[in-house]
């Protein structure tokens, strides 16, 4: 199985500040034949299911604010919130869909300082 490791476990930043979450996979999720990274980011607020933010490592889902961006390739990925807003308080998960079993990171809790 591909193990997904996120860091940090939690972070607190001020409103308007940048927040960065890291995700590392135990093996590459880059498929050479189509040059796509099979990596997604989700946001989960209390009492709600996870919501897809980013797929193919850097493609923003429709309707997701452009302050959310994804980057990285191979085994190392980053989710950046460029200007933290109050509504961004949530837990964020990375997930690989390169091979089954599909696996998730442990989550990063984002709070306002």
Residues within the interface to other proteins (CB under 8 A) = 31, 33-34, 40, 42, 48-52, 55-56, 61, 93, 95, 97, 100-104, 106-107
Q: How far is the CB of 55 from other proteins (least distance, A)?
A: 4
Q: How far is the CB of 78 from other proteins (least distance, A)?
A: 17
Alpha carbons 90 and 106: distance in angstroms, whole number? 13
Q: How far is the CB of 113 from other proteins (least distance, A)?
A: 25
Alpha carbons 113 and 92: distance in angstroms, whole number? 17
Residues 6+ apart with CB under 8 A from 79: 20, 21, 23, 41, 53, 54, 68, 69, 70, 92, 94
Nearer Cβ to other proteins, position 14 or 34? 34
Q: Please answer whether residues 106 and 3 qualify as being in contact, where contact means their C-beta atoms are separated by less than 8 angstroms.
A: no
Q: How far is the CB of 95 from other proteins (least distance, A)?
A: 7
Nearer Cβ to other proteins, position 70 or 84? 70
């Amino acid at each position: 199985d591909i193990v997904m490791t996120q860091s940090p476990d939690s972070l607190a930043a001020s409103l308007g500040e940048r927040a960065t979450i890291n995700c590392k996979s135990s093996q590459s999720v880059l498929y050479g034949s189509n040059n796509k990274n099979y990596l997604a980011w989700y946001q989960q607020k209390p009492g709600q299911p996870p919501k897809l933010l980013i797929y193919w490592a850097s493609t923003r889902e429709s309707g997701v604010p452009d302050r959310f961006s994804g980057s990285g390739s191979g085994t190392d990925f980053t989710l950046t919130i460029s200007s933290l807003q109050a509504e961004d308080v949530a837990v964020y998960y990375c997930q690989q869909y390169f091979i089954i079993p599909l696996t998730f990171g442990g989550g990063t809790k984002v709070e306002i300082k």
